[in-house]
Amino acid sequence: MKAEQKLCRAGIMHFFRNRLVVLGLVLLATVLLYLLLPAIRQGSMEPFLNVQRMGLTGGSPAALTTSRFPKPVNITIRTGQLAGDPPLFFRETISVDAAGKMMQPRLQVVLLHGQAFTSKTWEDLGTLTLLASHGYQALALDLPDSESMKTDQNRTNLLLRFLDSLGVQAPVLISPSMSGRFSLPLLMLHSSRLRGFVAVAPVGTKLYSEQQYHSIQTPTLIVFGALDGSLGTQSLKNLSQLPHHTVVRIDGAKHACYMDKPREFHQALLIFLSELNRETLSHHGRKKEILSEEKK
C-alpha cells in the first residue's frame, strides 16, 4: 500500500518534471528570442504561448513522439532579404544543438502565405518554432504583390530564385490560398524540385488538366477547413487527381484553417512531414499513401 503510493508519487513527479522541462525550454527560447532579435520585438508573445500549449497538451500521435532526432536547445528566427527584382524578404529558423552547433535539418519547409497575410503570420502562429522544434528548418517568404509578377514563369522564377539563393534543394512547400498562383506553376513545371507539397485551399487549381495532375509524383497533403465551401471544395476536387495525396479536412475551420484550428493543422502537418522523412530515410522506397483516414 505504502509502496504503491510511493510509486504513484514518483509517477506524478516524473510527469511534472517532464512538463517542467518542456515549459522551461519554451520559456528559455521565448526569452532568448525576445532579447536577441530586436526585429521581432514588436511581435506579440502569442506564438510561443501557442507552441507552449501544444507542447503541454498530451495526446500527440505515436508518429510524432516515437521518431528519434536530436532536440535543438536554441531556436531563433532570423529575418533576411535577398537582393534582386523584386527583393525578397524572408524569415528562417536557426536551430542549435546542445554542443552549440548549427543543426542539419531533417527536411526544409518553405511556407508561402495568403492574400491578407505575410511570413509573420507563420511566426505569430508558432508554426516556424514548432517546425524547428521537430528538427525541420522553416523558411517563410513574403510574396511580392507586384505588377511584374504577371506570368506563371515570373512567379515560378521567383520561387526558384528564393530556393537557389538559400541553397534549398528539395523542400516541402506549404501553399495557402492566393499563394497557389506561385506554387502550382512550380509544382507543374518543376515537381522534382519539391520533396512534398502542402496545399491549403490554394487558388488556381482549375487551370490544370487531369493529365497534368496525373503526371506529378510529389507527395501532397491536401488540408482544408470543413467550412471552406468554395476554394476548399474546388481545390480538393482538382488536387485529388494527384497520384500521391492525402486529405485532411479540419472540422469547424474556415478558409484560413490554420488560423482557426492551429493545433489540428500543425498536427496534420507534422504527421505528413514525419512520414516524408521516414520515406527519405528508407532510401526512396515505394511511396505509400499516408494517413489512412482520408475523408471524402
Catalytic residues: 177, 228, 255
Shortest Cβ 181–ligand NAG spacing (Å): 13
- Rounded to 5 degrees, what are φ and ψ at 5? -60, -40
List Cβ neighbours of 208 (8 Å cut-off, separation of 6 or more): 184, 188, 238
Rounded to the nearest angstrom, the gap between the alpha carbon of residue 134 and the centroid of all alpha carbons in its chain is 11
Q: Which residues of this protein are in contact with ligand NAG, per CB under 6 A?
A: 32, 36, 74, 76, 85, 94, 96, 148, 151, 153-154, 157, 206, 209-210, 234, 237-238, 241
List Cβ neighbours of 257 (8 Å cut-off, separation of 6 or more): 200, 201, 223, 224, 225, 228, 232, 250, 264, 265
Judged by beta carbon, residue 29 or residue 54, the one nearer ligand NAG is: 29
Shortest Cβ 283–ligand NAG spacing (Å): 33
Nearest of 199, 208, 49 to residue 114 by alpha carbon:
199
Judged by beta carbon, residue 79 or residue 280, the one nearer ligand NAG is: 79
Shortest Cβ 250–ligand NAG spacing (Å): 20
Judged by beta carbon, residue 4 or residue 210, the one nearer ligand NAG is: 210
Burial of 16 (0-12, 13-18, 19+ CB in 10 A): exposed
Shortest Cβ 191–ligand NAG spacing (Å): 16
Judged by beta carbon, residue 132 or residue 253, the one nearer ligand NAG is: 132
Single-letter code of the amino acid located at 254: K
For residue 15 the three cell numbers come to: 510527469
